[in-house]
Amino acid sequence: MNAQLITEEEFHDSELGDVYDLFNAVNGQILNGLLDVNKLDEYGPEDAEALNVTRLRKVWEHTASGCAECESIIRGLSRLRESLAATAG
């Protein structure tokens, strides 16, 4: 149980970047209320390896499980991106 808790906490750790990396890798695109995991298929082999797409898919699976903390992080990142776009535009 404790190992599972640590793993779940790692998904939300900005130092490790998991949810943040996934958000950036899919350019914040949302599909059916979740980050659009299909965007990961657009990377070529070298970029996919550099981004560790396999790990990002596991992060997506975690977010798709209904994790409230992931939803909050993604919502915050989306709002920040929208705010920056409004300021720049």
CA distances 8 to 24, 35, 61, 68, Å, are 20, 18, 12, 12
Whether the pTM exceeds 0.85: the reply is: no
Residue ranges covered by each domain of the chain: 2-88
Task: Give the pLDDT confidence of 3-18 residue by residue, as tens digits.
Answer: 443 355 666 665 556 8
Task: Give the pLDDT confidence of 41-70 residue by residue, as tens digits.
Answer: 999 999 999 999 999 999 999 999 999 999
Decide: helix, strand or coil at residue 43. Answer: coil
